[in-house]
Amino acid sequence: MDRIRIRGGNTLNGTIPISGAKNAALPLMIASLLTDDQLTLENVPHLADVEQLIRILGNHGVDYTVAGKRVGQNSGMGRTIHFSARNIVDTHAPYELVSKMRASFWVIGPLLARMGRAKVSLPGGCAIGTRPVDLFIDGLRALGANIEIEGGYAIADAKAGLVGTRFVFPKVSVGATHVLMMAATLAKGETVLENAAREPEVVDLAKCLKAMGAQIEGAGTSTITITGVSQLAGARHAVLPDRIETGTFAMAVAMAGGDVTLTNTSAELLQNAIGALRQAGAEVTEMPGGLRVVRNGGGIQPVDVTTDPYPGFPTDLQAQFMGLMTRAGGTSRITETIFENRFMHVQELARLGARISLSGQTATVEGVPVLKGAPVMATDLRASVSLVIAGLVAEGETEVNRVYHLDRGFERLEEKLTACGADIVRISA
């Protein structure tokens, strides 16, 4: 099993190209099930989760081809993949595939909308909380689907087609917003989704669906209105930049010090997180096609943050920010309101010398002057990269084990950091 070794102490200087967003690419790929025409996605990141979803879509009969890079194309840009779901051969998504990644459950919406039936395993694939699928089920039932839970599967049918409705999410859910928005594109009549997720990835999916012929208004606000159409066509769409990767590398620079330009991204995607970085002492400057992050001289300042749905501080940056705060000159408090079990990285950061105490949903971090390298273990995707951030400044060697978590969501992480001066290497077993 691969592991990553980091020798801390180097500042970061240079340029890091940001990849396409995993959290946007996955629902966009699933949207290919809605049409029998070709959907072409550009800037698709090369990640383990993307490859797993390709296998799941292939099980349904989706063909795909990967286009080569054009001459002169920026090496930081992702792949172009053509998806064709002309012939859906199976509406069954089995446990052995879905259990490896929870986003694969989202196929239930497009399959119901286009084929009128679906049998999808209840999801697995992540250890950061229960994250039940009740909102998905309730929303699809509101659209007219009959759904039974039996033997670990959601067995659904909508023989007469889905029908537009008004559905109020009892809590904000990005995944459920994706699924119901996709399903409603082919429903009869108008669907209004209230208390919908406002994340940029929801907006990106809506842009793609509209390019396919869907009628959607309000994406990016808490009320999304979809007027169903009889069919969708093919389209070409570029996956938006990964705001979580952007924030992660910005926090790495804030931790290690240096001067790094992040390209192929936008400061607008981060909003609240940029404010927290500036409070911590980093200089973050917006520039065309990206942003520049600088921290020279002064120490890291303690900052309190609370995770919230967009545009609040992202839960997917909570672990990374905690890693940064371990070296702050004072005490910070980090409150997690989205997932109930997203502090598993605390014990591993403690192995490096961090001082963190937990009380309910809040972690109190007492900054220390020195972290010391040690073997640590990645527990989930975002937690794993917090250990990398801490390792960049830890004395001696830090060895991060179980880095397959990293490969699910970060493309060429070691390569990008090495290019800016970090002493980091992947060691294959």
Phi, psi of 256 (to 5 degrees): -80, -20
Is 80 exceeded by the pLDDT of residue 131? Answer: no
Q: What is the pTM of this model?
A: 0.95
- At 126 the pLDDT is 44
57-89, pLDDT tens digit by residue?
999 999 999 986 554 455 556 899 999 999 999
Question: Which residue among 186, 206, 238 closes a domain?
Answer: 238
Same domain, 46 and 73: yes
Placement of tokens 């077993």 in the chain: 429
Question: Which residue among 177, 208, 238 closes a domain?
Answer: 238
189-198, pLDDT tens digit by residue?
999 999 999 9
**Structure tokens belonging to residue 361:** 């949903």
- At 123 the pLDDT is 83
- At 69 the pLDDT is 54
Give residue 270's domain range.
3-19+241-427
The number of angstroms, rounded, from the C-alpha of 188 to the middle of its chain's C-alpha atoms is: 31
* CATH number of the domain within which 140 lies: 3.65.10.10
Distance CA 294, CA 281 (A): 9
* Under 8 Å between Cβ of 343 and 366: no
* Under 8 Å between Cβ of 387 and 411: no
Distance CA 423, CA 429 (A): 19
In one-letter notation, the amino acid at residue 338 is I
**Structure tokens belonging to residue 19:** 């990849």
Question: Which residue among 182, 204, 238 closes a domain?
Answer: 238
Instruction: Say if residue 65 is exposed, middle or buried (CB neighbours under 10 Å; 0-12, 13-18, 19+).
Output: exposed
What share of the chain in percent tops pLDDT 70?
95
- Indicate which residue of 30, 31, 62, 126 is catalytic: 126
Same domain, 251 and 349: yes
Same domain, 255 and 393: yes
**Total of domains in the chain:** 2
Placement of tokens 């070296």 in the chain: 327
21-45, pLDDT tens digit by residue?
999 999 999 999 999 999 999 999 9
Tell me, yes or no, if 420 is annotated catalytic: no
Same domain, 349 and 373: yes
Same domain, 288 and 420: yes
Q: What is the mean pLDDT of the chain?
A: 93
270-322, pLDDT tens digit by residue?
989 999 999 999 999 999 999 999 998 789 999 999 999 999 999 999 999 99
Residue ranges at the known binding site for phosphoenolpyruvate = 22-23
Residue ranges at the known binding site for UDP-N-acetyl-alpha-D-glucosamine = 102, 131-135, 171-174, 316, 338
